[in-house]
Amino acid sequence: MRQRSLLLTRFNNVSNYNILEMSLSHETIDIVAVRMAGDIILSNEPGKTLKKWREIFNITQTRLAEVLKVSPSVISDYESGRRRSPGTTFVKRFVKTLITIDKEEGSKIIRELSRLAVSTADAIVDFVEFPIPVKGRIISNTIEGLPLACEELLEREVYGYTIVDSIRAIRTLSGSDFFQIFGSTTERALIFTKVSLGRSPMVAIRVQTLKPRMVILHGPKEVDTLAIELAKSEQIPLILSKMSSEEELIITLKNFYRSIVDKKKV
């Protein structure tokens, strides 16, 4: 977890920068590179994660192999799992090469990814990515969740969670900033605290291109019917946490995360 911890520490400390200026800075590129490397190294299926990042940058296996000075079969074998998991040295070269090629073509992808380096003005309460995937139902049970929509989809795997202060999010996050809460993957749970009815978070998700794997609301005694209908329409499990306080919710999830880390070590 050292790579990911370093990234998140730096991610949380970056603020008050112009997005376009940061997208070209060495600091921001370094943050993106660390996030990418951590995503690959900590992945349960590093080959598939290598492929994911290569496709995000829209680079062919042939082009990547050419710059890396390896055979295209090496890239193919890693991505398919035929070759053993890549070591940290290869991952570092892989990430550096993707970024180098993108810079040669105008830094389009790096500019987009660099927005992750911009602080979300305290709207994010906690931000965690799991070292191994976890069933959505397990997360729901952990936070004393009451499924309100698409309960059958809780069998899907979740790769992390973001806790968002819904009031601060409304005040500080623009539509273009919204995707920052997803981290390196949309296959995560978005957890909204200080919720009154649940309508605002679901309306915000409805108009976004990126969708979370599940949504958890904390705060309301009852959830607005529109929020439930939007969740059903978007095919996103909607959960109401019955935990007594926001603090208890945060601590419970943090302990849950630590148990996953310990499990991976065994």
- Nearest Cα to Cα of residue 193 among 172, 169, 177: 169
What phi and psi, each to the nearest 5 degrees, are found at residue 223? -105, 135
- Nearest Cα to Cα of residue 238 among 120, 139, 160: 139
Report pLDDT for 8: 37
What pLDDT band is residue 227 in, cutting at 50, 70 and 90? very high
Taking 80 as the threshold, does the pLDDT of residue 266 lie above it?
Answer: no
Average of per-residue pLDDT across 112-124: 61
The CATH number corresponding to 120-265 among 3.90.79.10, 3.40.640.10, 3.40.1390.20, 3.30.1300.10 equals 3.40.1390.20
Q: Which two tokens stand for residue 123?
A: 């709207």
What average pLDDT does the structure give for the chain?
83
What pLDDT band is residue 146 in, cutting at 50, 70 and 90? very high
Least confident piece of the model among 40-54, 138-152, 241-255: 40-54
3-class DSSP state of 242? coil
What pLDDT band is residue 17 in, cutting at 50, 70 and 90? very low
Question: Residues 84-110: pLDDT tens digits?
Answer: 888 889 999 999 999 999 999 998 888
CATH top-level class for 2-115? mainly alpha
Higher pLDDT: 62 or 11? It is 62
In angstroms, the Cα distances linking 119 to 14, 64, 174 are: 6, 32, 12
State whether the Cα torsion 18-23-24-29 is positive or negative: positive
194: left (phi over 0), alpha (psi -120 to 50) or beta: left
Across 117-141, b (16+ Cβ under 10 Å) vs e yields bbbbeebbbbbbbbbebbebbebbe
Cα(21)–Cα(28) distance, integer angstroms: 9
Higher pLDDT: 264 or 167? It is 167
Taking 70 as the threshold, does the pLDDT of residue 24 lie above it?
Answer: no
Taking 90 as the threshold, does the pLDDT of residue 229 lie above it?
Answer: yes
Question: Residues 212-223: pLDDT tens digits?
Answer: 999 999 999 999
Q: Which two tokens stand for residue 5?
A: 């911890």
Cα(108)–Cα(132) distance, integer angstroms: 30
Taking 50 as the threshold, does the pLDDT of residue 204 lie above it?
Answer: yes
**What is the domain partition of the chain in residue ranges?**
2-115, 120-265
Q: Does this model's pTM top 0.75?
A: no
Report pLDDT for 29: 82
